[in-house]
Amino acid sequence: MSKYNDYIYDTIASVSPRVAEILGNEMNRQEENCELIASENFVSDAILAAVGSCFTNKYAEGYPTSRYSGREGRYYGGTQNVDELEEYCCNKWREVFNTDYHVNVQPHSGSQANFAAYMSVLNPGDTILSMSLENGAHLTHGSSVNFSGKLFNMVFYDVDKNGTIDYFNLAQKIAIYNPKLILAGASAYPRIIDFKKIRNLIDGVSDKYYRPRPYFMVDMAHIAGLVAAGDHPSPFGLADIITTTTHKTLRGPRGGLIFCKPELAKKVDGAVFPFAQGGPLEHVIAGKAIAAEEACTPAYKEYIHQVVRNSKAMCDKFIELGYDITTGGTDNHLFLIDFSKTHPNLTGKMVQDELDKHNITLNKNCVPNEKRSPVQASGVRIGTAAMTTKGYKEQYFIDKAIEIDNIISHL
Ligand code: PLP
């Protein structure tokens, strides 16, 4: 680990040997393990430093005063520096995605961002059309154990037998259910999502039935880095509201962002604070600002291109080794292995647990038309963003595929 990590360790050890001991173990784990969890990454020392900075001491409920034409925006005094920080952070994120959308950088996480985004334009009981959890969506996209499934009337569009979004079915569901919001985006979907097509379907069905246009929301948490680097089509200009996390392919601190068309700005801001959250995490906002600066660099774009090349190389190797990959491949930073046909006695959990023993970290995942519970699952999800940050290229990922195959063959 870096000198900066040594400094953090020593500073903590001088006060709490026990916390330092646990931290040291985690530092070693992160250093030694092959990290293939598709939603994780390793941030720069500058981001680590920002998140550990004195911005954590400041309360700043509200928004930079300048945002609403001079009206008092914050609930506390002493916010001149965090006001500047937050404005700078917002501007930088607009630059990353080359957009004039409004942006709120305060969501504490992706889930908080989605909660606020829904509540900015919906009321409890309204209908949301989304992808289902079994087919690759996130808990906040309508799972019955999540606020989304409890608060809203969730209906789901299908994937075809290979796991690819069935756009025809999506259009049919819009016509049948007349949802108030249509959500695109996923946690475990390896293919390009055609935002333009979805926009056209929404508009087409609305015109045909003389209905007002439903809101189109995109949760690009997983693919945001690819959108920033031009490796995935952008939802900007098409979606009304766009949410993301900052800690996956964007390689920033743990947190969320909400972008929206300018006319929804006040609704979105009000839904984040005071509705869903209290004081913003200004130390994390400092980290988000640095992540945005990093994402604007050519080096970051090259990093994302390499993430995608690595993902394809590893995925192709698994195909060559006889594995069943949902949708038959990948266009992005992740792919899913489905054991249900090739290894019917294997569960995703068995594979995850065995690989853990070999210092390879990934997660079990449901596959399309899943027959097992999510606790066991019939597949695993593999992502290349974290290990690409460590500098690894295609050959490393090909070798890891061979190693994983070897481990699985002994199960
Ligand atoms: N949206 C998507 C698509 C995700 O994959 C995730 C997390 O994995 C989230 C939202 C939620 O993010 P968080 O864990 O920060 O709440």
* pLDDT at res. 73: 85
List, chain by chain if needed, residues with CB within 6 Å of any ligand 1 atom.
Answer: 39, 109-111, 114, 138, 140, 185-187, 219, 221-222, 245, 256
Calculate how far, in angstroms, residue 209's C-alpha sits from the geometric centre of ligand 1.
Answer: 34
Domain 301-409 has CATH 3.30.70.20: no
The residue type at 12: I
Calculate how far, in angstroms, residue 219's C-alpha sits from the geometric centre of ligand 1.
Answer: 9
* pLDDT at res. 133: 86
Q: State which of 141, 245, 281, 288 you would mutate to test the pocket of ligand 1, scoring each by most atoms of that ligand within 8 A of its C-beta.
A: 245
What CATH number should be reported for the domain whose range is 54-295?
3.40.640.10
Q: Catalytic pick from 59, 68, 167, 392?
A: 59
Angle (CA) 199 203 209, round 5°? 150
CA distance 239 to 126: 19
- Is residue 59 part of the annotated active site? The answer reads yes
- Residue 234 tokens, joined: 């952008």
- Is residue 341 part of the annotated active site? The answer reads no
Work out which ligand 1 atom sits closest to the CA atom of 220: 3
- Residue 262 tokens, joined: 């300018």
* pLDDT at res. 75: 87
Calculate how far, in angstroms, residue 248's C-alpha sits from the geometric centre of ligand 1.
Answer: 9
* pLDDT at res. 60: 95
Q: Catalytic pick from 45, 61, 95, 166?
A: 61
**Which residues have CB under 8 Å from 161's CB, separation 6+?**
368, 369
Calculate how far, in angstroms, residue 72's C-alpha sits from the geometric centre of ligand 1.
Answer: 32
- Is residue 199 part of the annotated active site? The answer reads no
- Is residue 196 part of the annotated active site? The answer reads no
**Which residues have CB under 8 Å from 165's CB, separation 6+?**
131, 157, 159, 189, 191, 193, 194
- Is residue 194 part of the annotated active site? The answer reads no
Work out which ligand 1 atom sits closest to the CA atom of 254: 15
- Residue 213 tokens, joined: 């246009």
* pLDDT at res. 379: 97
Q: State which of 146, 187, 193, 218 you would mutate to test the pocket of ligand 1, scoring each by most atoms of that ligand within 8 A of its C-beta.
A: 187
* pLDDT at res. 106: 98
- The DSSP bridge partners found for residue 184 are 218
Q: Per-residue pLDDT tens, the chain, 411 aa: give them.
A: 788 999 999 999 999 999 999 999 999 999 999 999 999 999 999 999 999 999 999 999 999 876 665 556 888 899 999 999 999 999 999 999 999 999 999 999 999 999 999 999 999 999 999 998 889 999 999 999 999 999 999 999 999 988 999 999 999 999 999 999 999 999 999 999 999 999 999 999 999 999 999 999 999 999 999 999 999 999 999 999 999 999 999 999 999 999 999 999 999 999 999 999 999 999 999 999 999 999 999 999 999 999 999 999 999 999 999 999 999 999 999 999 999 999 999 999 999 999 999 999 999 999 988 899 989 999 999 999 999 999 999 999 999 999 999 999 999
**Which residues have CB under 8 Å from 234's CB, separation 6+?**
97, 195, 227
Calculate how far, in angstroms, residue 215's C-alpha sits from the geometric centre of ligand 1.
Answer: 20
**Which residues have CB under 8 Å from 108's CB, separation 6+?**
255, 256, 277, 281, 284
**Which residues have CB under 8 Å from 389's CB, separation 6+?**
41, 42, 251, 303
Q: Tell me the domain boundaries of the chain.
A: 54-295, 301-409
